[in-house]
Structure 1
Amino acid sequence: MQRTGRRTALLAALTTAVLFAAPAVAAAAPPASTIDVSATTVRAGSTITVTEQLYNPTDFTVTGAKAALYTKEKPIVDLVDLVSCAGSALSCAPYLSSFRGAVGDLGAGESRTVTFTLRVKEDVQPGQFTLQHQFAGDNYAFAVEDGPAVTIAAPDKADVKVALTATPRPGLVARVDYVVTVSNTGPATATGIRVTANPGSSRTIVSTTGCTRSGTALTCAIATLAPGASAKAKFTSEGGFFAWGAFTATAQRAASTPADPNAANDTASKKCTAYTGLYVQC
């Protein structure tokens, strides 16, 4: 029993010695720079933010520290415009093929954050680019590192087409019924569609469906149309018993979202001729 007890005590002592002798594992230092982007798919004209974190892992002060932002495939200044930035000691600005935000001197172990707000240029072509980032200073600069890939998608478009038909109505006042047909040929869903219409000179609007009247002008709110969908609005005009001569009614797209790529089909017109109020030909 005495020999067994000695062995147990010796094993415990050796285990304690090994544990205390084992070196502590130091925590890995953060990288000199990292970035985070608010969206990885953007379109022409859209705005994104890129947040760059700087950390000084050296044992000396980096003077004139700056957050630098690039793109790999082509200069970032050709793809986006700098709207603003936050966190920099001075205003951010383009520098050669990069955007830079100065944060002043950065001591050993210190960190700073700069957030760039960028707007994709209106004329940029769809494609993919790789964001790159760098901690740069006046006395020392770290390597340029690859960040996330950002896709510039094809812009949303919805082609809203306007058509107009006219049907003379028998009577004594040269009455004509009009139908405004609004269709969306896509490819995206169209929202906020608004069409304006006018019955032509010397005409009086006497009824509407789907439109509101202001004097001799009409505004027809269509709201939303999915690709391939259409909607109709109607109005009726009169010229009176003594109506005579030609008149032209028009309808035109006044607003819709997203952008309409084809202005050629935004307007429609219909010419009619009155031969007194008894007879109208369209």
Structure 2
Amino acid sequence: MRNQPFLRQKTLAVRALATAVTVAAAMATAALPATAAPTTNTAVSAVSAANAVVAQSAHHTLEFSTLAAKPGDTVTITATTTNDTGEPTFSESGFFYEGAILTDSTDCTGLQEPDPIGCEISQNSGYQSLDVYYGYPDPDVDGGVPANGSVKASITTTVAADAEPGTYTIEPYGAINTYPEDFTPASFTFTVLDDNPEADLAVGLQATAGPAASTSIIYTQTATNNGPDTLATATVTTKLPARTSGVTGLPATCGYNNSAKTVTCTYSSLASGAAATTTFTAKQSLISLGSLPATATRTTSSPTDPNPANDQATVSCTVLTGLIITC
């Protein structure tokens, strides 16, 4: 078995030393008055996309098939290295982060020869890393990156079954001929999505009598996402009074069925805590005095709604005379 490339080992060792120094310094200064310290966050979010370039250096490019996935989902990572010198060279690239959200893997595919002599996702000292390396220890005989050429390889893994939902900061690294290179961005994020997301959609309905002698009712239908996750899609249907003769003021996301006396509205991409409101006017054909009930109901939604108790709301207006409605 070959020794692991020097760069990741050196990086992890430096991190361990830095952690030890930080702990020691904290112990030494524990008795001192607290002072405000500046905070820095170098994490840069990248947009999830097929083969999205997430980080680059002078000679390395790192791509992810996605930057947001659920446990069990497949993730493919592609590493490309170029050599602009006249001799074969050693190369190492990859990433590391604290924790372990990916399944360890050696399922590596060379996309541009020569194939890497090492290509794996593995765990070490509380970190997980990807290592792709060529030409170690001797680039002339151990498949180094060709002179004035490039190499490319991909490795496929899955999000670990026990990965906790959340956003993780990943740091890319790389070296050419043992010289480390800076990446842009210096870090990026990967999001583990909830494997069983839920969005509690609460339905509301209000009614106001229209202008005097208009024989109309103004309805306000509300869809509120109580979370905890984002509501992807939902439909809410309001059953109007049987005397409804027509509806006006509907947005493009709603439709009216005159025979069923229903208004159905579609909602999408509603963040946790957000609400969407739809207002429309229903004309009434008044024949006799009495009640005009209306009920709004959540008919479909995604992801799962965990609380059916707030899926429906009812409001009622009353016909006082042939031309007067009160709500």
Superposition TM-score tier, normalisation by shorter sequence: 0.3 to 0.5
Larger Rg: 1
Question: Normalising by the residue count of structure 2, what TM-score does the alignment of the two structures yield?
Answer: 0.40
TM-score (norm 1): 0.46
